[in-house]
Structure 1
Amino acid sequence: MHELIQRGPAEALAGLLGVPMPRETLPLLWHWLYLLDRPAQAELGPDGHPAEGVEPGRRRMWAGGRVRSVAPLRFDEPATRRRQVLDTVDKQGRSGHLTFVTVGVQVFQRGELVVDERQDLVYRDPPSEPLAREEVEAVQPRDGDWSIDVTAPLLFRFSALTYNGHRIHYDRDYAREVEGYPGLVTHGPLQALAMAEAARARDVGGHEIEYRLLAPLFEHQGLVVRADASGFAVHDRGGRQTARATIT
């Protein structure tokens, strides 16, 4: 896949997150706005994702990954993306049959590798019963916390920016009635981006991030990024941890 790295998508993300617009090169993880798959509508399954290769009724989740920025990804220059499935493993977990898929993504510019990425995806069986809605009581914020007010419009706009058709992020009725969630689900990549941006705001943004999504985060629970001795973590307003990252 080949594309010119234009400034428009980056300007849109900067406005969405309320962060400074990068000048000449993309910060860590901002390549997720570019070189996107755009499948035909007829190729999508009931959940909004491409149906090819997925057993009907299985749930797709982004579990984590690693991204290494090898060299700057520059605006106003073309780039090329290569994507391949590296590994597929079936396991039996407490919640049923799980399929773990590892995807490799590489981005090239000026004929050189600039982004090297591993994505960890998991497909699981439908839940036996819906998840209960848990109201969280906000804890006192700490100095240095970096937060996002998660709303339905924000989740919809992030889906649009990343061309993510998964209905759990913008179709509340589908998320509740079909997939058994208590509300809209906050994107895993949005949580990873929040951690990377919290690091950038503290002038400790690096060239590599390894992140893991630990638990679902829902629209009514907020999003707070907190730094500690081992890296950065996303919490809901009540302090429950939903993602963690190490940035080097």
Structure 2
Amino acid sequence: MERPTVLTHEEVLTPEHAEAFASLVDVPVPDLAADGLPLLWHWLYLSVWPAQRDIGADGHPTRGSLPVPPAPGQRRMWAGGRVRTRHPLVTGRTAVRRSEVVSTTTKQGRSGPLTFVVVEHRITQDGVTCVVEEQDIVYREAVAPDGPGPVPTPDGPAATPAPVAVPPAAGERRVALDPPHLFRFSALTRNAHRIHYDHEYARSVEGYPALVVHGPLQALLMAESARAAGAVGRLTMNYRLVSPLLEHQGLVTGSEPSPHGWNVHVRDDSGRVTATGTVSNEE
């Protein structure tokens, strides 16, 4: 299996991807040619489109990309990361992303061995570094040949009563989700992971009772909560995805001021937190 450790990719950044994302999650579009992409919006660009023969059963590339699974069939989860914006990443110009695996660590988890891979991305325009980030990717054991078996759905006969909905508080907003919304975000970010659009695969192979909301979508919505509160310019964001969020559970995102910037979060309708982060100004 090919195991590249460094990859580069370049692309002319056009406004269409940013405009499509803004319409998907109902947020304003800044002056992209002057002020540049908002925090984390570079994820809408510079993704590699692999050959279909290089796509694994779960939808992720198995070779020719970063990272690749440590062993065949292992399941991938996006766990978190750190991002620094140093200069505006503007549309209408070419950007270059250099990606490198900087560490790989294996630990024993409750459900078996886990492999933690940290990938660093550096994005430049005209030789100037605009974005530096590290992504934390976790791989868990391959699915057994017969799979984990069906998982009871929330509306089954043994389902527990629905939790009481917690309305959005000050600084929070609810983002409506449904399968077309998740599918459109997958298409926009070139993410073919089947847990986000293939209900039968998510349920019978990976053990989720419903479609799973993308970790990157949750992180982007947290960044947008901070932007709505005034976070612009050179920013640093640290975020963690702490629990799976299913599409029927609802998504509420919000931010609150902190001594160094903003604390951000995503929760479901019941108040269960699924992602957390901090955003701060570098100046």
Distance 1:79 1:142 in 2: 39
Alignment correspondent of 1:237: 269
State the TM-score, normalizing by the size of structure 1: 0.95
Distance 2:229 2:151 in 1: 36
Contact 2:55 2:62 in 1 (8 A): yes
**Mapped pair 1:4 → 2:12:** yes
**Mapped pair 1:167 → 2:183:** no
Distance 1:236 1:133, change over 3 A: farther
Identity %: 52
Distance 1:96 1:129 in 2: 18
1:17-41 CA distances to partner (integer Å, 9 max, x unpaired)?
A: 1011121310000000111111100
**Mapped pair 1:62 → 2:72:** no
Contact 1:103 1:119 in 2 (8 A): yes
Contact 1:205 1:247 in 2 (8 A): no
**Mapped pair 1:153 → 2:180:** yes
**What do you get for the CA RMSD once the two structures are aligned?**
1.6
Question: Residue 254 of structure 2 is aligned with which of 190, 214, 226?
Answer: 226
Question: Secondary structure of 1:42's partner?
Answer: helix
**Mapped pair 1:49 → 2:60:** yes
**Mapped pair 1:83 → 2:99:** yes
Higher-Rg structure is: 2
Q: Report the CA distance between 1:142 and its aligned residue.
A: 1.2
Question: Secondary structure of 2:18's partner?
Answer: helix
Alignment correspondent of 2:159: none
1:176-219 CA distances to partner (integer Å, 9 max, x unpaired)?
A: 11111011100000000000001111213461110000000000
Q: Which moved more, 1:123-132 or 1:137-146?
A: 123-132
Alignment correspondent of 1:94: 110
After TM superposition, where is structure 1 displaced by more than 3 Å over at least 4 residues in a row?
126-137
Distance 1:12 1:188 in 2: 19
* Structure 1 gaps, min length 5: none
Residue-pair matches, total: 248
Alignment correspondent of 2:223: 196
Amino acid at match of 1:185: V
Distance 1:131 1:228, change over 3 A: farther
Q: Report the CA distance between 1:129 and its aligned residue.
A: 6.3
